[in-house]
Chain A
Amino acid sequence: MTLHAENIRVSYGRREVLAGVSLIAQAGEVTAIVGPNGSGKSTLLGAITASLPYKGRVHLNGQDIATLRPWELAAQRAVLPQASHLAFPFTVIEVVRLGLQSGAAGDRSDVPLRALARVGLAHYSDRSFQELSGGEAQRVMLARVLAQVWAPIEDGTPRWLLLDEPVSSLDIAHQLQVMQIARDFTQAGGGVIAVMHDLNLTALFADKVAILAGGECLASGAPCEVLTDVILSRAYGCALRVSAPPPAGIPYILPHAASA
């Protein structure tokens, strides 16, 4: 089962932000979308999540998302937005519960608490969401997203996590924790598409990488195929060398070398 985005075009007014990008993500894999600022990464994710108008087609588990109603989509995929707004003073656990599909049953279910435990915030469940730091809020939102599609496979169909910069506000330990959650999700059969800024984490955790620049997809494939000097330098517009040891004397900390 796949998520197949075909020839996606998006324009804001006259400016074309995505000029025909295609992407195929497989269930059981973490697919990362990387690229410089303004390359259209979040826009692509927006099209895939049906959050903005687009031209082209997106097929989720074989169905064209344009034909699905909001609740049908919500049953198959959960979306983690880049920024989290909350207009009213809900508590953390109430926010996580918002992810649950069924209203009343959701109140009695233990899934929200377990989701919070997954992101390491079970002890925060009764705090007011608006008091949290940026990173904590992002993790709570991830818990909400997990609660929405708690089972990576439902009725034999894989479910999807679509994450827009899931680790941008997190410290390194939590970054690793969150990426591991994504990896675990795919190993249980679900699919993950994540827009990423951090190339190292991408290299560590992604099974497939698509790199965008200027509204087009420059390359896609396995990390070692895409994360090369040539492609990265071209995409980011600065000379980048992959796997090159840094100059002596300056410390470097790579997530690759971290351990729990």
Chain B
Amino acid sequence: MTDIPAHLPHRYPFLLVDRVLEREPGVRVVAEKLVTFGEPYLQGHFEGRPMVPGVLLLEMLAQAGGFLEAEPLHGAAIFLAGVQDARFKAPALPGDRLRLEVRADGAFAGLMKIRGIVSCEGRDLCTAALLVKRL
């Protein structure tokens, strides 16, 4: 599946998923984000030492989590409600092909918990649980 903008409402400079490799709605998604020197936020984070901000790794997982939804998210009121147990183990750098793997943990009363891992070449960079609220 390659038509990312048809599913997610996010746009430049905040669309942080480039490709969806595997997708089982309601269960599991594997997506990719390719990091380049051209990323606008790397200009200032940091000058001379570019690395992807940790909060953006969480955002990448949240956006990958959007593909757990069967229907496109355009017009849907879905918001991040919580972040738990976030760990940043190594920085993501220009040139990295980031693998975004998310799994639905459970849902109750419009609130869904997802677990995610950002990895690169088999090495975990970030792990976290995210809570997503559908209004």
Do these two chains really belong together in a complex?
no
